[in-house]
């Protein structure tokens, strides 16, 4: 009666998978064979359910696992010219930007949002010192990762000559800092605020910029650094934004997005492009631990190699190697990590 049992999955499953679910019952002879067949079928059905569940489960965001996030971020720093190109900008362009801040005040207020381990913050503070050698500095550090905040504090403790700076350590997110600021009815104004590679992690980047810009004193500057819209990141996100981790706490945002937002609001700004690259060669070696961590950082997905569908993994790896995103040099794959800088003045 029942000649053929076809198990057609209701979700999107590759044809190669559901082929194994097609059984010809004419080939099943005798009761024993039928039982064996049903057992086999049950196992396939179970596998199918697991597969369906895996397909349906949303990918987990890397930022939910601070330990792995910090590991992959450190690896990214080791494998990229990220901090090198920032330092270049800080030494060559930032001094002119900082020259006018403070308007001759003897105390300068600085706020660092998403400071990480503080390497780049201290680099900027030393340029501020060179421009304003007489001024004392109040530095609010806003950083939710206790590990990073600890690293920053240790580094400060080891550096001589920082006694002109008073550090206030705020172990919190940008929005918690904003809430605290409002609750305390703070009227203090800031001379220099920076957000280096952190706007990806706020719910509403536009509102965050608006709030921090409103804290600027006359002649104050707000410095934002994010990946450039022309970088490999921009191309990766154009193609895969909706399939990667694009949630409230981790968004695919580039300086091109921020510029459009500011243009729409008619907020003036200055911008700069910083060429940078990241060596992603190991990402293309299956099972390579370094490659897997780098892939997590690139996709912002926790355990991307193990949890993404084969289709998504193939597509992402193909695009990462594509000339839109990377160049190949002396056997290495160099991903375009160009950064964009945006500088805002105080609201007028």
Q: Residues in the site for ligand SAM, rule: CB under 6 A?
A: 73, 113-116, 120, 142-145, 148, 173-174, 196-198, 201-202
At its nearest, how many Å lie between ligand SAM and the CB of residue 252? Answer: 14
At its nearest, how many Å lie between ligand SAM and the CB of residue 235? Answer: 19
At its nearest, how many Å lie between ligand SAM and the CB of residue 257? Answer: 17
Asked if 153 contacts 115 with a C-beta cutoff of 8 angstroms, the reply is no
Q: Which tokens go with 285?
A: 């070696």
At its nearest, how many Å lie between ligand SAM and the CB of residue 7? Answer: 44
Nearest-angstrom CA–CA distance, 295 and 281: 11
Closer by beta carbon to ligand SAM, 48 or else 336: 336
Closer by beta carbon to ligand SAM, 173 or else 336: 173
On the CB side of 201, CA atoms within 13 Å amount to 24
Q: Which tokens go with 227?
A: 């990946």
Closer by beta carbon to ligand SAM, 148 or else 299: 148
Identify the CA nearest to 74 among candidates 126, 145, 171, 122. 145
Identify the CA nearest to 191 among candidates 117, 128, 262. 128
At its nearest, how many Å lie between ligand SAM and the CB of residue 137? Answer: 18
At its nearest, how many Å lie between ligand SAM and the CB of residue 96? Answer: 21
Residue nearest to ligand SAM (CB): 116
At its nearest, how many Å lie between ligand SAM and the CB of residue 180? Answer: 13
Closer by beta carbon to ligand SAM, 48 or else 177: 177
SS3 346: coil
Closer by beta carbon to ligand SAM, 134 or else 158: 158
Closer by beta carbon to ligand SAM, 102 or else 205: 205
62-72 in b/e burial notation, b at 16+ Cβ within 10 A?
bbeeeebbbeb
Can you tell me which residue has the tokens 């194994």?
20
Asked if 168 contacts 141 with a C-beta cutoff of 8 angstroms, the reply is yes
Identify the CA nearest to 250 among candidates 6, 69, 94. 69
Closer by beta carbon to ligand SAM, 174 or else 325: 174
What HEC string does 197-216 produce?
Answer: CCHHHCCCHHHHHHHHHHCE
């Amino acid at each position: 009666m029942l000649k053929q049992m076809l198990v057609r999955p209701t979700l999107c499953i590759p044809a190669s998978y559901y082929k194994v679910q097609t059984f010809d019952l004419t080939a099943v002879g005798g009761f024993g064979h039928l039982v064996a067949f049903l057992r086999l079928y049950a196992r396939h059905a179970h596998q199918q359910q697991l597969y369906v569940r895996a397909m349906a489960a949303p990918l987990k965001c890397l930022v939910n696992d601070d330990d792995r996030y910090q590991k992959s971020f450190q690896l990214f720093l080791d494998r990229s010219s990220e901090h090198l190109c920032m330092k270049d900008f800080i030494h060559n362009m930032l001094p002119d930007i900082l020259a006018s801040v403070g308007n001759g005040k003897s105390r300068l207020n600085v706020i660092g949002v998403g400071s990480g381990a503080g390497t780049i913050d201290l680099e900027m503070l030393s340029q501020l010192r060179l421009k304003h050698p007489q001024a004392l500095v109040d530095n609010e550090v806003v950083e939710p990762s206790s590990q990073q905040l600890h690293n920053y504090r240790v580094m400060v403790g080891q550096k001589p000559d920082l006694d002109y700076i008073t550090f206030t350590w705020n172990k919190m997110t940008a929005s918690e800092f904003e809430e605290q600021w409002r609750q305390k009815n703070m009227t203090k104004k800031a001379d220099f605020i920076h957000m280096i590679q952190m706007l990806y992690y706020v719910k509403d980047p536009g509102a965050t910029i608006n709030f921090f810009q409103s804290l600027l004193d006359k002649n104050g500057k707000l410095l934002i650094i994010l990946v450039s819209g022309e970088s490999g990141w921009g191309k990766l996100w154009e193609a895969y934004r909706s399939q990667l981790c694009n949630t409230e706490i981790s968004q695919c945002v580039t300086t091109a997005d921020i510029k459009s937002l500011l243009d729409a609001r008619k907020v003036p700004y200055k911008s700069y492009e910083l060429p940078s690259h990241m060596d992603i060669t190991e990402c293309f070696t299956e099972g390579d631990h370094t490659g897997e961590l780098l892939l997590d950082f690139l996709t912002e997905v926790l355990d991307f190699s193990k949890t993404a569908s084969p289709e998504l993994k193939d597509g992402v790896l193909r695009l990462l190697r594509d000339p839109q995103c990377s160049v190949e040099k002396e056997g290495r794959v160099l991903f375009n990590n160009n950064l964009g800088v945006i500088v805002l003045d105080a609201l007028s």
